[in-house]
Amino acid sequence: MNEMLVTVGADKFGGDMGAWKIGEWKTANSTESLGYCFDARFVEDEGGGYVVSVAQLPGVVSEGDDFAEAIRNLVEAFRATIETYLAENMPIPWIEAPPKQPGEEYFRVAVNV
């Protein structure tokens, strides 16, 4: 894989995903949902599969046997986390993404919540 960020799910949002700031929400195509953008950090697991996390939201981590499954699982975990923050009327604790470590790759992800 290369060093470039690749956007996953941008087709659901329209416009230039590069113009979004991490953690910024925008209304997606559905009038009843919010769109969020974040960087998914992933690394190949030594035992096979991938471990993925939201680089800017601590504690949102998942895994999968292949990259697609890992991203699907991460999106599900992200949605559940955001829905909890919103339901509890709590601020979402976005952080600056930590520096990339050896073996890690980042993908930009756009998600409806």
Structural domains of the chain ordered from first start? 7-112 (3.30.160.250)
Chain centroid to CA 84: 16
pLDDT of amino acid 10: 45
pTM, full prediction: 0.71
The strand pairing partners of 43, in sequence order, are 51
Q: Which three-class secondary structure state does DSSP give residue 96?
A: coil
Over the chain, what is the mean pLDDT? Answer: 76
Which residue ranges in the chain fall short of pLDDT 70? Answer: 1-34
Encoded tokens for 55: 């680089």
CB 103 within 8 A of CB 43: yes
pLDDT of amino acid 33: 60
Q: What distance in Å separates the CA atoms of residue 93 and residue 91, rounded to the nearest whole number?
A: 6
Q: What distance in Å separates the CA atoms of residue 95 and residue 98, rounded to the nearest whole number?
A: 9
What phi and psi values does residue 38 have, to the nearest 5 degrees?
Answer: -150, 165
